A and B are shown apart, each in its own frame.
Chain A
């Protein structure tokens, strides 16, 4: 079965640069979620989108923004990168048409800021 696809798998950036992470949800899933997981930490919810509209917001820094497109894929844009932004970034998707639909996660993008 098709899973959540994230790209790139690895990304290395320097401080103050920008980065864009992409997420392609499972087909027919209409909701995407972004999570950040720092070294030794648990995943932290950043933001979610449903039908291209922001649905819920967690601990996302103001330097980050995200959007969902008409094909349901999503992009997380990160500007003025800091060393502390080095982390695994996971995307998850679900379908609101299915009650209690679980989130399914991709294998993440590992961002290293130097």
Chain B
């Protein structure tokens, strides 16, 4: 799976949009971009994923650049409960039978300031 690069930490004011960048310059055509977050000592929580189109769900939006070499996770109205480590992960979907586990990198520690 391609490697990702994220800033180690970010701050964001409560109520503002949090924009978390991720670089995945070696991503290949069949790799999806997944975002997870982990609140202290809890299990990682799935947020969103996409291939090349922008995606939105009730939690966040995912913007993927046209060349797919980078993406941004957007939390539109950050709250204190959004303080967590956010992981950007690229993963091959092997519909032929592979069950690849996610490979977690270092992630971004997002701190929401009151």
Contacts and interface: CB of A to CB of B under 8 A. Distances in A.
Contacts, number: 67
Interface in B24-67: 32, 34, 38, 41-46, 49, 51
A58 B101 CA distance: 9
Contact of B101 (A56, A99, A104): A56
Looking at chain B's contact residues, the main secondary structure is: loop
Contact of A45 (B43, B46, B101, B107): B101
Contacts of B32: 100
A4 B43 contact: yes
A96 interface: yes
Contact of A48 (B44, B101, B105): B101
Contacts of A110: 41
Given A102-B49, A103-B46, A107-B42, A42 B106 contact: yes
Interface residues of B, number: 25
Interface of B: 32, 34, 38, 41-46, 49, 51, 87, 93, 95, 97-107
| Nearest 6 Cβ contacts at the A-B interface | A105-B43, A45-B101, A55-B99, A42-B104, A102-B46, A50-B99
Interface of A: 4, 31, 33, 35, 42-45, 48-50, 55-56, 58, 88, 90, 92, 94, 96, 99-100, 102-108, 110
28 contacts: A4-B43, A33-B101, A33-B102, A42-B105, A42-B107, A43-B38, A43-B44, A44-B104, A45-B102, A45-B103, A48-B99, A48-B100, A48-B101, A49-B99, A55-B98, A56-B98, A56-B101, A88-B41, A99-B95, A100-B32, A100-B49, A100-B51, A100-B93, A102-B34, A103-B101, A107-B43, A108-B42, A110-B41
